[in-house]
Structure 1
Amino acid sequence: MTTLITMEESNYIKIALLLLRISPRAVRIQFDYEIHPDCLNETLNSNICKLKDLKIKRHINQEQWNLLFPRTGEGSSKHFDSTLMICLIRNLTPIQISDILPISTNISVGTDLSRIKFYRNKIAHSEDGFISSIDFQYYWNDIKMALLRLGGVSMETECDTLYAKEFDISQREDHLSFIKTQNKLIKLEEELVKVTERVEMLELKLNDPIPKNLKDLFAKEIKLWKKEMMTFYITTGATKVLKKIENDSFVVITGNSGMGKSAISHYIALTLEMNNGYQIIPLTDVCDIVKYYNASQNQIFIIDDIFGRYSVEKSILHSLERLNSKIRSIRTENSTFRILATCRLLISNTPIFKKFSQMFQTVECNLLSKEFEATVAEKKKIAACYIDQKTITRISDDMVRGIDMFPLLCVIHRNRKQKTKILLFKNPYDEFEKELDEMYDNNKSCILGLALLVIHNNNLQKDLFYDNIQFREAFDAIVNYFNLPSRPTLQYVLSCLQTLKEIYISEKANTITTLHDKIFDIIALYFGKKIPKIILQHANGNFIRDRIQFASLNKEHDEFTILIPPELECVYFVRMGMEIERKSFVNVFNTQQMKHEFFKKKL
């Protein structure tokens, strides 16, 4: 009598055979579509330098190399394994293939190849050779649908035949022997790649200009980016920006706050790291570009708000002008050097930005332009990464079109009450204001915490809540204004503020900030209307410089500018006197108001 193997063993063998015997044909169909057999050898020869680099790094082994460039005849995909084909698609086409498992709603050629790659590695590293029935059903459906999308519905019969197959003990040994051999080859290749990478890392460390403590900070930040990518939807615009940075060394992503500029820059940096071995360097100071440049390393420098957030900071402009010749020299001598920056539209529309673009020969990718904007369908797919389907069906196309910060609203909606979710998309600013009003009426300690966050310009250090005289003075002023029946302790206010984590704020080590600059804009305007005098007396000097304007000027301003009534102008000038005493001249003379003659006369 035939003895069948256990269900868990059978599950493992089926998934392995699906990946090892069936998936290569599906991958080959897609490979031949992306790199047609008639053009294969021309493509390989034109990319010989890139392929040699992949061979040196052990991403292509000698046996695979011989298939690409045989001694006699020409290479043919008929002899390529799925690992080689995925490697070539990843490096010779614009298709983005990841090492992590894409979310189920993210469907494209790149994500389907990523699924096959992910599950193939997962099987290779399985120690026990068992898969539970629950996991099996999920794996099978995910892999099968990817194969059908890549190879066509003609593969369904073969998949279904394998799915229904039962294995006895004698068959198990034959199949496991084949699977183990394949797994050993994959593990051996991975070890060779790791050894090569370790050698390269040792060489780089000897010449690395970036201090270890700073590299550790970069690594922590990049780790957060990778977490973001779990729910990042790749739009056509994002793919086009990636293509731009592949061909041009200095690209600036422009758009309004909340549109996803930073998320796209993170996606591109991580893609270049994964596909081309780039070192990611997140910067806040443009001067560090030259300081941390390493000619022996592929590097991409990521700079958010390259000119400043609310107006062009002249100190940054002067730094860039000083560095122009050096950066131009680096770009000329190093074809892999990359700078990817973001910039808000209110700054990119200025003559200064246009002058800068000409000086540095930058490429602008405007997320509101027809070339780069996300379609309504793409925005709804972004929503599907964060929002339940029931809520999505209630969001009309007009609502999607009418909100620039739609991606941001999708991210922040998750921790809000169900009844407020759709309102957040209908009238986002009104909804935020209602929430803050409700907090003002019912939770003064939370509102105190947010007010202190505004006073400190979205960079609130937690240790200030314990022993800082100047901080306590600002706190006392706010408490007195609110006329509270009892005075809460600073520590209690901090604990209340922390309850707003993932709703309004985020914490990094000792620092509290808002989840996004756009949220801070809204909160800052709210308190600018609520406690303008306290803002003028106690707020960070940069905050006052960037956000304050006299109402009496009767001049144009952006939607988040805080307008100061005439009766508080004297308070403003007293504060400017204090800034001059502190030698903070830039906060006095580099304001938006200085361009108006009427203000200069008052000054």
Structure 2
Amino acid sequence: MAVHSIISSLQPLLSQDIQGQIQASTSSSTGTLDLDDDVKRWVVIGLCLHSVLTPALRKYVSPIITQMYNVLVASDHINTQTSHHFLRYYLPTKTKLNYEAINNNKTLYGGQTGKYDRSVKNHIDLSKLFLQTHMAQYIAFDATCDSSALLAIIINIDQFPLAVREEANEVRSSIRNCWAHCNVMQWTPGKFVASFQLLESFIKTIGVNATEENRILGDIHNWKTNGTNFMNISMLGAELVSEIQTATQALTECTQDDSIETDSNFHRLQKQLIKIEKKFEELKTNTGKWLMEIGANVSGCRSIGTTEEKTLTHHANCLCRDAHQFEVNLWQQQDSKFVETDIVNDMIKFLETKHVAVVIGASGMGKSSIIHHIGLKFYQKEGWTVIPCHSPQEIISHYKEDEFLMFVIDNICGKYAVSGVDIENWINNRHILKMMLGKGKIKILASCRLEIFNEEKVQISLRPFISYTFDLSTKYRLSSKEKLAIAGKYLKSEDCEKLKEIIEIVTFSPLLCFLFSKYEDLSLHEFLKGPFNIFCHEWDNLKVVDPHKYCLLFIFVIFNGTINESLFEEPNVDVRNKLENVFENLNIDRSSALSQIRNKLHFCVGTYFIKIGKMYKVIHEKMFDFLCCYFGRNMTSFVIESATIEVLCERTQLQSLHRCRNMYTVIIAKKYENEYLQRFQKDIQTCSLYNSINNVNMKYRIYREQFLNIFKTMSKEAVKRILKNKNENGNNAFITLCSHGYDEIVQFFYIHGG
């Protein structure tokens, strides 16, 4: 019996606390596989390709090739061909047949084609005639015939319907080949979802019988929804572990295929697969031991009673529970310096009768601290569970009809600029969220930057939920007394005395007090007058006296404020090339750069960065604003070349637009504009169209015309291929463009089959 099934059967007999302790016991006994999310997605796609799609294609291909073989035996006697009389071309498509691939001809005769055995003995040999020799190493449509060969057979032989051949080509280029290249950085959440949607569409197109189609689609759906969770072994039953282990072993064997690119990145991923296999074997060996531990915990927990401390987050069987707990623990650490102002009591009173409360204000004014503090207060209320989350989908997935839940969301519609994905998510899920809120047992506490909240599309997306906002720039603006009370939490007494004299003439925010407290030898007056200028001066000096630390700050900018420790261990080829370009640009010795920069990382925790598990994040979004603006001004060309598409879309604006902008927006001077547009053209051609249309510049017609010119240089087929890609909500770019009202681009795509 599966471990989680046993726990489920015991739940009616046990208190919630005891259930949590049992779950913790099984979790600690099993552990998790310590893999990056992109590696997980790469593995899951591979498992689905080789354990679901490939077996389905073997069954689909075999009867069609058999029928074709019988026809050619009757018409051209291909089974009795000789070296003098044989079918050289398949006439319907004028395809030259590859006899090197059958009867061991290549091994026996090499280039002596006159000696080849031309007899086609069965339908398996017939299929090989349409493939390159290295792909035709199978002996039947069985485990020796992989997805690469099967897709090539479908693409190259006209007996398969045109629609099936076209989709097979798309699956090969967009999924199978991308997977075989072992570039895990490509496997973003959006590409992961789009790949599963393509696989589902392909299965529907090939037209197997309804029962078989439902079974295959069900298997694909299971991998899509549950696949990455298999890395959390404690949530698996023994039967499922055995199934996944078998599939992973097959996937490891598949990576021995000659068509897989074998670079250092490949060998790193192969190690990951071996690591997974070993963990699964350990799991199977210890299953009996865990069941005994559960029994011991049941009897032991019953004697404990209710003295255990209440957990802050969701029920024990929630896969996100540990991550939620970690985040709330951070809130508790930071809350020691929180100063309550009128907004706290007003919001708590508001939430007695309302279900959604939003704090708006400028960056650094304490929006996040306020909602975290109120979230912790709700924890003190009997029966309430606090859940940090980041999207409406997370609210829906954690909803429990009979529980009182407080969902806390920072930056509800984007951090620096409006997030098109967030807008879509709130609009697409508004009906189900309103139904959940109508039950009266859940509340949503959120923050949003003032300039983002004032955008019309944000107002439209949130209008169904929000009846009132708590604005830190007007009614709840800090008084001098409140400012000094907050400063007292961070500053020395002598600095607080200085602040009294200048409190009304300098820019003040809780964040500035926090940042000032992290640095020595700074003038309080000068810092509060212009913190960005102070940091710019410090970074200018840093470039000379500590180039490795300077380089580290730049790396955080191009990776959008977050990096994983694995970046310094075995980066994949693309990342390694990007880093080497950074080192070269900053005149840093490549041989020791990574190790020295990693050492700097540890010293910067608490001043520039925070560490969460194996992830490092810039300490505050305002600090990231400063960093992006600084490096965007000083290394514009290199930021355009190396930064993630999200950084460019959210934080840049073309100088030629002559529009109002945020103080820390990176202005792309006219001399860099062609370079900027070429970067977006490159990303669009590698399936990043959806991200590209979320560029903040798209609100301006002048930019949209330049953006449209990118597509006018492409073939009609390339445009159609790009338009097929979908975002995580299942929408393609055409639908998003329509919703934004970008008429000129919509019209162009419509003409090209959007």
TM-score calculated relative to the size of structure 1: 0.63
Q: Is 2:416 aligned against 1:310?
A: yes
2:618 is matched with: 514
Instruction: For 2:394, give the aligned amino acid.
Output: D
Counterpart-to-counterpart distance in 2, 1:400 and 1:265: 27
Please tell me the residue identity of whatever aligns with 2:493: Q
Contact 1:282 1:302 in 2 (8 A): yes
Q: What SS does the aligned partner of 2:528 have?
A: helix
Task: Report whether the alignment pairs 1:578 with 2:682.
Answer: yes
CA distance in 2, matches of 1:486, 1:462: 18
Query: Could you tell me how far 1:413 is from its partner in structure 2?
Result: 2.2
Question: Contact conserved, 1:286 with 1:306, CA < 8 A, in 2?
Answer: no
Residue of structure 2 in register with 1:273 after alignment: 379
Shift of 1:502: 1.3
Aligned-pair CA distance for 1:219: 0.7
Q: What is the correspondence of 1:162-201 to structure 2 with a 5 Å cutoff?
A: 195=305
Structure 1 residue 352: deviation in Å?
2.1
Following the alignment from structure 2 to structure 1, what is the Cα–Cα distance between the partners of residues 506 and 434? 40
CA offset digits 1:124-160 (Å, max 9, x no partner): xxxxxxxxxxxxxxxxxxxxxxxxxxxxxxxxxxxxx
Partners of 1:376 and 1:397 within 8 A in 2: no
Asked if 1:473 corresponds to 2:577, the answer is: yes
Cα distance, 1:315 vs structure 2: 2.2
Name the aligned partner's letter for residue 457 of structure 2.
Answer: I
Structure 1 residue 570: Cα displacement: 1.9
Cα displacement (A) at 1:419 = 3.8
Q: Deviations over 1:71-101 (max 9, x none)?
A: xxxxxxxxxxxxxxxxxxxxxxxxxxxxxxx
Structure 1 200/464 Cα, relative in aligned 2: closer, same or farther at 3 Å? closer
The secondary structure found in structure 2 opposite 1:325 is helix
1:525 Cα deviation after fit? 0.6
Distance change >3 Å, CA 415–CA 402, structure 1 → 2:
closer
For residues 486 and 215 of structure 1, do their structure 2 counterparts lie closer, same or farther at Cα, with a shift above 3 Å needed? Answer: closer
Query: What per-residue deviation string (whole Å, max 9, x for no partner) do you get for residues 272-329 of structure 1?
Result: 1113432111112221111101122211001111111123222222221222221211
Q: CA deviation at 1:498?
A: 2.5
CA distance in structure 1 between the aligned counterparts of 2:648 and 2:404, rounded to whole angstroms: 40
Equivalent AA in structure 2 for residue 427 of structure 1: G
- Residue 115 of structure 1 corresponds to none
Cross-structure match for 2:566: 463
Query: Once the 2 structures are TM-superposed, how far is the Cα of residue 487 of structure 1 from its aligned partner?
Result: 5.9
Report the alpha carbon displacement of residue 451 of structure 1 after superposing the two structures with TM: 0.4
Name the CA shift for 1:537/1:524 in 2 (closer, same or farther; >3 Å).
same
- 1-structure distance, mates of 2:416, 2:512: 21
The worse-fitting range, judged by mean Cα deviation, of 435-444 and 448-457 is 435-444
* 1:407 corresponding residue in structure 2: 510
CA offsets per residue over residues 524-543 of structure 1, 9 Å max, x none?
A: 11110111111111111111
Q: 1:261 corresponds to which residue?
A: 367
Alignment pair present for 1:350 and 2:455: yes
Q: Give matches, 1:137-148, under 5 Å.
A: none
Q: Following TM superposition, by how much is the alpha carbon of 1:478 offset from its aligned partner in structure 2, in angstroms?
A: 2.2
Offset from partner CA, 1:327-364 (integer Å, 9 cap, x none): 21122222x31001110011111222332343223421
1:601 to 705, 710, 717: 705
Gap change, CA 1:491 and 1:199, over 3 Å in 2: closer
What are the ranges of 5 or more consecutive residues in structure 1 without an aligned counterpart? 1-56, 58-191
Alignment of 1:64-143 (within 5 A): none
Structure 2 letter corresponding to 1:441: V
Matched letter for residue 275 of structure 1: K
Work out which of the two has the higher radius of gyration on C-alpha atoms and give 1 or 2: 2
Gaps of 5+ in 2: 1-15, 17-301, 708-754
**Higher mean displacement: 233-242 or 220-229:** 233-242
**Structure 2 vs 1, CA of residues 320 and 374 (structure 1 numbering), >3 Å: closer, same or farther?**
same
Q: Are 1:539 and 2:677 counterparts?
A: no
Letter in structure 2 aligned against 1:236: D
Does structure 2 conserve the Cα–Cα contact (< 8 Å) formed by 1:357 and 1:363? Answer: no
Paired positions, count: 405
What secondary structure sits across from 1:360 in the alignment? Answer: coil
Q: 2-side partners of 1:241 and 1:200: how far apart? A: 24
- Local SS of the residue matching 2:585: helix
Q: 2:357 aligns with which of 251, 255, 268?
A: 251
- State whether residues 445 and 497 of structure 1, in contact with CA within 8 Å, keep that contact through their aligned partners in structure 2: no
Q: Distance in 1 between matches of 2:414 and 2:307?
A: 37
Which residue number corresponds to residue 116 of structure 1? none
Inter-partner Cα distance in structure 2 for 1:197 and 1:299:
23
> Is residue 412–residue 502 contact of structure 1 (8 Å, CA) maintained in 2?
no
Cα separation, 2, equivalents of 1:200 and 1:345: 36
Tell me the residue number matched to 2:541: 438
**What is the distance in 2 between the residues matched to 1:442 and 1:238?**
45
Please list the CA deviations of residues 54-79 of structure 1 after superposition, one character each: whole Å capped at 9, or x if unmatched. Answer: xxx9xxxxxxxxxxxxxxxxxxxxxx
Is the 2:491–2:513 contact (alpha carbons within 8 Å) kept by the matching residues of 1? yes
Q: 3-state SS of the aligned residue for 1:409? A: helix
Give secondary structure in 2 for the equivalent of 1:338: strand
- Give me the whole-angstrom Cα distance separating, in 1, the residues matched to 2:674 and 2:486: 48
CA gap 1:311/1:484 in 2 versus in 1, 3 angstroms: closer
Q: Distance in 2 between matches of 1:244 and 1:494?
A: 47
* Matches for 1:4-43 after TM superposition, within 5 Å: none
What SS does structure 1 have at the residue aligned with 2:463? helix
Aligned-residue offset at 1:560: 1.4
Normalising by structure 2, what TM-score? 0.51
From 510, 525, 529, give the equivalent of 1:426.
Answer: 529
Cα distance in 1 between the residues matched to 2:574 and 2:504 = 44
Q: Alignment partner for residue 469 of structure 2, among 331, 339, 364?
A: 364
> Which secondary structure state, in structure 1, belongs to the residue aligned with residue 417 of structure 2?
coil
Partner of 2:670: 566
Aligned residue number for residue 428 of structure 2: 322
1:395 is aligned to 499
Structure 1 residues 487, 526: closer, same or farther in 2, change over 3 A? Answer: farther
Partner amino acid for 1:271? K
Contact 1:450/1:497 (<8 A) preserved:
no
- In structure 2, the residue corresponding to 1:359 is in which secondary structure? coil
Amino acid at match of 2:626: I
Q: 1:448 aligns with which of 547, 551, 554?
A: 551
Task: Report the alpha carbon displacement of residue 400 of structure 1 after superposing the two structures with TM.
Answer: 5.4
1:220, distance to aligned residue in structure 2 (A): 1.1
CA distance in 2, matches of 1:300, 1:573: 43
SS of 2:395's partner is helix
Q: Indicate the SS of the match to 2:400.
A: coil
Aligned to 1:49: none
Deviations 1:406-457 (Å, cap 9, x if unpaired)?
Answer: 1011222222114444432232111111111121121100000010000100
Q: 1:342 to 1:397 in 2, by over 3 A?
A: farther
Match of 1:170 in 2: none
Instruction: Give 1:331's aligned residue.
Output: 437
Checking the alignment, whether the CA contact within 8 Å between 1:248 and 1:363 is kept in structure 2 is no
Measured after TM superposition, the shift of residue 481 of structure 1 is 2.1
Equivalent pair of 1:233/1:382 in contact (CA under 8 Å): yes
Q: What residue number does 2:267 align with?
A: none
CA contact (8 A) 2:480 2:503 kept: no
In 1, Cα distance between equivalents of 2:504 and 2:402: 45
Distance 1:400 1:507 in 2: 35
2:6 alignment counterpart? none
SS in 2 for 1:306: coil
Mapped to 2, the partners of 1:524 and 1:434 lie a distance apart of 15
Contact 1:412 1:503 in 2 (8 A): yes
**Measured at CA, do residues 353 and 556 of structure 1 come closer, stay the same or move farther in structure 2, by a change above 3 Å?**
same
Instruction: Say whether the 8 Å CA contact 2:548–2:588 is kept in structure 1.
Output: no
Aligned-residue RMSD, C-alpha: 2.6
Q: Are 2:658 and 1:554 equivalent residues in the alignment? A: yes
